[in-house]
A and B are shown apart, each in its own frame.
Chain A
């Protein structure tokens, strides 16, 4: 049984004018101990998709899925009590801003101990001992001395460590880290990523790492899902995704990285991400894609198996028949006007 199974997950935010499809038919499977990266530009639905897994999408957001299970248990049908018992214990999530999880009015020692008393039913003394152990594990020097510190007295990196300590306090089977290093300097980012990976390895914990940074996924994950406008466009092993991307969006993103430049001009993606009002009927990337055809603009591709991964594209880059088919589909009707710059 997979650890986490997501099938056709959608989250919409209704509004008077037009509904916003924040997450639009996302499917993912995660086994025990997997490390999965979810990468995408801002607004692509990474956070909302994982908040839906945690049961944290607030009204008026509407969550639907054909299947959403953790260890076989249906997450959509949990009572509030069952959900609280599961999230925070078996599944934990950390965020870009430690302040979203840490309460500024309590010391970090108190907050950690409370978590342990609540979920692990420890007594105060045992909780204190375990708190010191946890702070030590996440690399906080002289942890006894930090128990009485308030979050505002610690640096961003230190608070991020405290938040990780909270998240792993109850030995979760899955840790979801949402842009955990985006607000940190690179040297501290490297420390935190190393910490997350070593915790993952030592505990056999599954890890979902959400980031907008291609370099971060390349360095840390084994498998990666690329999101665009609420959908997964491509999913495969990190090595093969970076080595031979199959989706034109993935390829365009990789080519646009300054690291990929040979000193000349950078490759660019014209246009901007679709909004609530101009959501394409067909492929969501069609208005910006160099290979778009009238067929792609009209007909939304399904996420389907392709070369040891999944892809949502009519014309995968490694498909030997794609040039022919693109030409044929273009002959069928003239191409649309070019998109404007961002």
Chain B
């Protein structure tokens, strides 16, 4: 198993202006996230809105640099890559967004949209570019005659196929997918998920798959990383985590997910997400956790190995005894 992406302590802090006379506030959107992702594997990043998923995606796709931490992609230092390697690095990582409507230029034909990355990044002949575009369209389930149509002539699912095709034109090794099926209808979501699985098998792609939907994640992921307020709560193999979640936040998410919480004790998290500008002092989940103690409010639990996964809770051992789901 070769490691394609290795992140160590990735952190992103935003300075938020508060008017002329006050110091800017610091908002830590992602606070020290580490993971490894192997070729052909899928790591799902799960959490509620504002927990830092998209910020992490932007750092991994080199759209914005981390404030601190290390990021290696395909053997290259991706934070400060040597200038000569930058083009190769950019081609290695591509991204697909949630909204297939917003991410495609409405004035360009599908063929042009797909050809563009080849024009910019390669010096292939016109015929060869066209051949590759048609080949990719076939791969994602679009018909050749759709080549000269405009994005608005396609359904939501088809547009997401176009977005995926465009991301794959330069044969990346890593595809970052930020909520790729969240905007799609139920019947279409399954088609796009199947496509992603097929493409991974065929091309050996690694996915950093971002989602707030645990049902989708359980289907598509190999590993799962659960985030809350920019911090990792639990991280490990999917089977482990779904069978026996050891973090109270993971348990809460599972219990709250419609259709998945049926046979579980219904744990309802108290209150709302704290402001990321003023995160709780100890455990970030302490203001909502049903098991909170004084120690939790004082001490931030470290992410530590337990039962073949990583978990950040002082009392995770307690949940080892619960019957596996």
List chain A positions with a Cβ less than 8 A from chain B. Answer: 41-42, 141, 155, 157-158, 185-191, 194, 212-216, 218-219, 252-253, 256-259, 261, 263, 265-269, 272-273, 340-342
Contact residues in B for A186 (Cβ distance below 8 Å): 48, 212, 214, 253, 256-258
Q: Using A42-B185, A215-B259, A257-B259 as known contacts, say yes or no to A185 and B212 having CB atoms under 8 A apart.
A: yes
A-B pairs, 7 with minimum CB distance: A215-B259, A215-B258, A342-B157, A258-B219, A190-B256, A185-B48, A256-B190
- Given A256-B186, A258-B193, A259-B218, 18 more A-B residue pairs with CB atoms under 8 Å apart are A42-B185, A185-B212, A186-B48, A214-B186, A215-B260, A219-B258, A256-B190, A258-B190, A258-B218, A259-B259, A259-B260, A265-B194, A268-B187, A268-B194, A272-B155, A340-B143, A341-B157, A342-B158
For A189, the chain B residues whose CB sits under 8 A away are 256, 258
Contact, CB under 8 Å: A218 / B190:
no
Complex interface: chain A residues within 8 A of B188 (CB): 272, 342
Q: CB-CB < 8 A to A267: which residues of B?
A: 190
Closest CB in chain A relative to B136 CB, distance in Å? 15
Q: For residue A155, which residues in chain B have a CB less than 8 angstroms away from its CB?
A: 272-273
In whole Å, how far is B93's beta carbon from the nearest beta carbon of chain A? 26
| Contact A261 B219, CB 8 Å, known A185-B212, A187-B253, A187-B268 | yes
Interchain nearest-CB distance for A75 vs B (Å): 31
Contacts of A219 in B (CB 8 A): 258-259, 261-262
Assembled-state Cα–Cα distance A42/B216 (Å): 19
B residues adjacent to A (C-beta < 8 A): 48-49, 141, 143, 155-158, 185-191, 193-194, 197, 212-216, 218-220, 252-253, 255-262, 266, 268-269, 271-273, 288
Which residues of A have CB within 8 Å of B288?
A: 187
B262 and A342 form a contact (CB under 8 A): no
A155 to B269, CA, bound (A): 16
B272 cross-chain contacts in A, Cβ below 8 A: 155, 157-158, 188
Name B140's closest neighbour in chain A (CB-CB).
A341
Closest Cβ–Cβ distance, residue B248 to chain A (whole Å) = 12
Measured between beta carbons, the chain A residues less than 8 angstroms from B193 are 258, 266
Contact check, B269 vs A187: say whether CB atoms are below 8 A apart: yes
**Residues of chain B lying within 8 A (CB to CB) of residue A218:** 258-259, 262
Residues of A contacting B190 with CB < 8 Å? 256-258, 266-269
| Chain B residues within an 8 Å CB radius of A265 | 194, 197
Structural contact, A257 and B262, CB atoms closer than 8 A: no
Bound form: Cα–Cα A337–B178 in Å: 36
Tell me which residues across on chain B come within 8 A of A261, comparing CB atoms. 219
Q: A219-B261, A259-B218 are in contact. Are A41 and B186 (CB under 8 A)?
A: yes
In the complex the two chains form, what is the Cα distance from A190 to B255 in whole Å?
Answer: 9
